[in-house]
Chain A
Amino acid sequence: MSVETIKAEAELYLASLQDQILPLQESYLLANGHYWQGLGTPATTPSDGAVGNPDPNAARSGMPSWSVFGATLPFSAPFAVACDELRRPDGYRGFRIATYFLWDDGSWTGAILYDGSWGTLEWTRVP
């Protein structure tokens, strides 16, 4: 398995999550005044192509888990998944879905931001 293979798998998952999570987040925002945050899972970041098992019961403190929220995680994947909320004092709200994994040349993260519309997927690497 290569980095490009993992990235391609992650991008397929993110594309499916985009479709699924947006209506869920819009409902959650209406009900709670802020977006839902998905704790990064699995806790041990998959490394060098080895697959991990994201935990649908993973939850940030005070937030529903992935499964309770309704977002589907891969059963097994060579990457981890997270969802962050972004907000500013001026009322700005957004959320970002991300996949990330370790490779021998560093840490890779692919993320897409939603703040009224979807941004473009960006991959970054930290050696």
Chain B
Amino acid sequence: MTFDPNYGHFQSAQGGGRGFQPAQGAAPPSTLLDGLRWFYKFDTDSTWPDAVSGGSYWTEVSNPTTVTPGVIGLGIDVGTSRNYLDYAYPPTNLLIDPDKSWTQSFWFKPIAGEPTGGSYHRDFAAYEWQMVVGLTKRATGNYLFTTAAGSGGSSWYDLNLSGTAASEYTDGVWGFGVFTYLHKDDNDGTNSIRSVIARVGGTEYTASYSFAGVNYDIYSGAYANGARVGGYPFSYNYDAGSYLDLWGFWDRILTSDERDELYNSGAGKQYPF
């Protein structure tokens, strides 16, 4: 008699089923596991392991540290002295496919006391494939969820979620954001669009941007070389003044229900969901 895992029962040598039925009513695994490439909880200082692979891949630049509390457990402080994590050459198991849509999700917590900056000031930046996702402090003192994309290191495009007081993040408060790259195959065949979704006070704010003629450069540019948490690519002049937690990366678009699950009524959710 052998155990047949396909049916959850023991099977006799003659093929007759015996034993027990599969457990009924067990919750299925979260769909958030589908296409998940990495998930960083930032609970472990110094090694900063990826919860999905267990590997530690980052280069620490000037000692970013954990911060208490995070959204769940600890978070990472990349905001005090231009410290950050660099991912200059991602291992192949974490590389994304540039010909697919992808999504990043974050929790940000701006730090009080940051100066109100101009267009160059970003308080947090996570960077992947020549794209930056972060917060830009406005003259009002609040923060826009913002992105920028570069083309071969020479042309940069700011993609700010249009600012209304309700959609802005505030100092000292964790805010949730999602950034999606929509490949043309997922977008009626037109050129790429990047979608930005911020969740503030339980309300979702969405903006999308057309990028005709730019996306092909993003992937072939000399700077398409990895990821960064904190800081700003290539520059000392862009302070990183925020905390970060629960950074997930998927090689697909997340559904509205999945974003709801990650937001979890403001409590957040982490791997393995």
Interface residues of A (CB under 8 A from B): 37, 39-40, 45, 60-61, 80, 82, 84-89, 92, 96, 98, 100, 102, 107, 109, 124-127
Complex formed: what's the CA distance from A102 to B153 in Å? 16
> Please, what's the 1-or-0 string for B103-124, where 1 marks a CB less than 8 Å from any CB in chain A?
0000000000000000010000
**B237-A45 in contact (CB<8A):** yes
Among B62, B80, B155, B232, residue most surrounded by chain A Cβ atoms (within 10 Å): B62
Q: B43 an interface residue at 8 Å Cβ cutoff?
A: no
**A88-B237 in contact (CB<8A):** no
Q: B164 an interface residue at 8 Å Cβ cutoff?
A: no
**A92-B155 in contact (CB<8A):** no
**B86-A126 in contact (CB<8A):** no
**A92-B236 in contact (CB<8A):** no
Nearest residue, chain A, Cβ from B158: A127
Q: Which residues on the B side are within 8 Å of A109 (C-beta)?
A: 234-237
Report the interface size for chain B: residues with CB under 8 A from the other chain: 25
**A85-B81 in contact (CB<8A):** no
Q: Which residues on the B side are within 8 Å of A85 (C-beta)?
A: 60-63
**B154-A127 in contact (CB<8A):** yes
| A–B complex contacts, Cβ < 8 Å, 29 sampled | A37-B62, A37-B63, A37-B81, A40-B82, A45-B237, A60-B62, A61-B81, A82-B82, A84-B61, A84-B82, A86-B60, A88-B56, A88-B59, A89-B46, A89-B47, A98-B236, A100-B235, A107-B120, A107-B235, A107-B238, A109-B234, A109-B235, A109-B237, A126-B156, A126-B233, A126-B234, A126-B235, A126-B238, A127-B154
> Please, what's the 1-or-0 string for B56-96, where 1 marks a CB less than 8 Å from any CB in chain A?
10111111000000000000000011100010000000000
The 6 closest A-B pairs by CB, nearest first: A124-B234, A107-B237, A100-B236, A89-B56, A126-B235, A107-B235
Among B120, B156, B238, residue most surrounded by chain A Cβ atoms (within 10 Å): B120
**B120-A84 in contact (CB<8A):** no
